[in-house]
């Protein structure tokens, strides 16, 4: 059977040539998938997170695959001094950074009343503080250098719906979305664009092990929550991210693009539960409704 189109690269060759892009959390999961595609499109890359060994392994793999330079930098995004060091190292190596993907995250499921204040802090510090730390450090630099740039923030659909059992993450992603829309206006005058992607379920080890551990994976198969009855493919997210970080999307600013197969709307629409009604029952139902005076 032919591979579906959405698993294939979308943009034309060289679309990111001349660009240097930072991806936080770029050593694993979706960050790695985006990084792989960005380098295939001609970008050089900085990948930054806490675990240097993992970053080095990914950097080697991506640069061997594409021939591009991939710089692994150990950085804890929740620590501003660490982010300033990342900025310095990046500029020393490449001269400039054209874009950031704020992708680093921490998350796990838990009833909120079971969380210690430290557990709440740790998620907010990675997701929200981490995103504004990189944005502030790199933003100040870009403004001072009069350099145009693009920021792409990875949120999720519960940034606007909220979600039980992942409250620190929901609070943080909502903040990141507000940051995206606020600075899209405030920093447009400096030529700095801000957009966000809200992915639905995309299988990664980091997310799956923490959000649906063990048997929960069979009990609550993510596919069943998605009208299209499938989870996301990494390449389709990478295609969207590459477009939004590239100059092809120059007139898109302050937008959040949802890529979830319709998942969050299925949960939202008041009568979406009627999907469970078999089609042969609709004749009877219609008759009952028509009889109502
Ligand atoms: C309750 C917990 C806990 C749990 C940790 N803690 N796990 N509390 N239930 N399951 C508490 C600890 O007891 C501690 O509080 C505090 O949280 C910090 O925990 P540490 O283990 O010391 O922190 P650290 O080693 O820094 O690890 C951070 C982490 C970890 C967030 C807990 O999971 C991590 O490194 N995650 C990074 C990757 C990740 O999470 N990826 C998934 C992203 S998925 P005390 O009080 O005891 O000191 C995602 C998808 C969204 O965002 C949407 C999907 C559809
Ligand atoms: P992942 O592989 O666990 O990615 C998270 C990354 O964040 C890791 O590489 C981790 O690396 C890094 N990180 C964590 N704490 C950090 C810190 N303090 N400083 C720097 N880096 C840190 O999970 P993923 O599924 O690919 O998630 C990527 C993004 O997509 C996240 O923003 C997530 O919220 C979002 N998302 C995912 C899904 C999904 O279904 N997978 C759905 C919606 C949104 P280290 O451990 O080395 O630090």
For the chain, the average pLDDT equals: 97
- Ligand 2 site: residues with CB under 6 angstroms? 24-25, 27-31, 49-51, 54, 75-78, 103-106, 126, 130, 154, 156, 199, 201-202, 204, 206-207
The architecture that CATH gives domain 7-291 is: 3-Layer(aba) Sandwich (3.40)
Region of poorest pLDDT, from 15-19, 177-181, 210-214: 210-214
**For residue 119, which atom of ligand 1 is closest to its CA?**
17
Contact criterion met (CB below 8 Å) for 266 and 227: yes
Contact criterion met (CB below 8 Å) for 193 and 201: no
- Residue 260: predicted pLDDT: 98
C-alpha to C-alpha distances, 138 to 86, 91, 124, 133, 203, nearest whole angstrom: 10, 10, 20, 8, 30
Query: What residue owns the CA closest to ligand 2's atom 23?
Result: 206
With b for 16 or more beta-carbon neighbours within 10 A and e for fewer, the 233-253 pattern comes to: bbbbbbbbbbbbbbeebeeeb
Longest CA pairwise span in the chain (Å): 77
114 confidence band (pLDDT: 50, 70, 90): very high
Q: What percent of the chain stands above pLDDT 90?
A: 96
Answer yes or no: is pLDDT of 135 > 80: yes
d(CA 62, CA 72): 11
Answer yes or no: is pLDDT of 283 > 90: yes
pTM: 0.97
- Residue 128: predicted pLDDT: 99
Q: Where are the domains of the chain?
A: 7-291
**For residue 158, which atom of ligand 1 is closest to its CA?**
53
190 catalytically annotated: no
Answer yes or no: is pLDDT of 250 > 90: yes
- Ligand 1 site: residues with CB under 6 angstroms? 105-108, 110, 114-116, 118-119, 122-123, 156, 169, 201, 206-207, 210-211
Give the single-character DSSP code of 2: P
- Residue 29: predicted pLDDT: 98
Mean pLDDT within 178-182: 98
Q: Which ligand is nearest to the CA of 56?
A: 2
Q: Which of 104, 126, 130, 157 to mutate to test the pocket of ligand 2 (most atoms within 8 A of CB)?
A: 104
Answer yes or no: is pLDDT of 1 > 80: no
- Residue 68: predicted pLDDT: 98
- Residue 293: predicted pLDDT: 81
- Residue 2: predicted pLDDT: 83
37, 80, 158, 251: which one is catalytic? 158
**For residue 102, which atom of ligand 2 is closest to its CA?**
32
- Residue 281: predicted pLDDT: 96
Mean pLDDT within 144-160: 98
**For residue 125, which atom of ligand 2 is closest to its CA?**
18
Task: Spell out where the chain has E strands.
Answer: 20-24, 44-49, 70-74, 99-102, 149-154, 192-199, 256-259
Answer yes or no: is pLDDT of 218 > 90: no
Q: Which residue has the higher pLDDT, 102 or 3?
A: 102
């Amino acid at each position: 059977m032919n591979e579906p189109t959405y698993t294939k690269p979308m943009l034309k060759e060289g679309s990111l040539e001349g660009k240097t892009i930072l991806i936080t959390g770029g050593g694993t999961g979706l960050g790695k998938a985006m990084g792989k595609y960005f380098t295939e499109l001609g970008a050089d890359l900085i990948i930054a997170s806490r675990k240097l060994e993992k970053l080095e392994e990914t950097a080697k793999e991506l640069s061997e695959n594409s021939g591009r330079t991939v710089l692994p930098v150990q950085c804890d995004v929740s620590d501003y001094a660490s982010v300033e060091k990342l900025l310095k190292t990046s500029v020393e190596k490449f001269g400039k950074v054209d874009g950031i993907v704020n992708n680093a995250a921490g998350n796990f499921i838990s009833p909120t009343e079971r969380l210690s204040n430290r557990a709440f802090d740790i998620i907010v510090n990675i997701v929200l503080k981490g995103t504004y730390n990189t944005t502030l450090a790199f933003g100040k630099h870009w403004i001072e250098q009069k350099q145009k740039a693009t920021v792409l923030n990875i949120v999720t659909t519960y940034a606007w719906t909220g979600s039980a059992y992942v409250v620190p993450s929901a609070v943080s992603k909502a903040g990141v979305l507000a940051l995206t829309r606020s600075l899209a206006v405030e920093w447009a005058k400096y030529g700095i664009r801000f957009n966000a992607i809200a992915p639905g379920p995309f299988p990664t080890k980091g997310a799956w092990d923490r959000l649906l551990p063990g048997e929960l994976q069979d009990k609550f198969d993510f596919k069943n929550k998605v009208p299209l009855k499938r989870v996301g493919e990494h390449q389709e997210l990478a295609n969207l991210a590459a477009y939004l970080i590239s100059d092809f999307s120059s007139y898109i600013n302050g937008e959040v693009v949802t890529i979830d197969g319709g998942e969050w709307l299925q949960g939202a629409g008041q009568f979406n539960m009627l999907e469970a009604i078999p089609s042969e029952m609709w004749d009877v139902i219609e008759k009952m409704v028509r009889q109502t005076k």
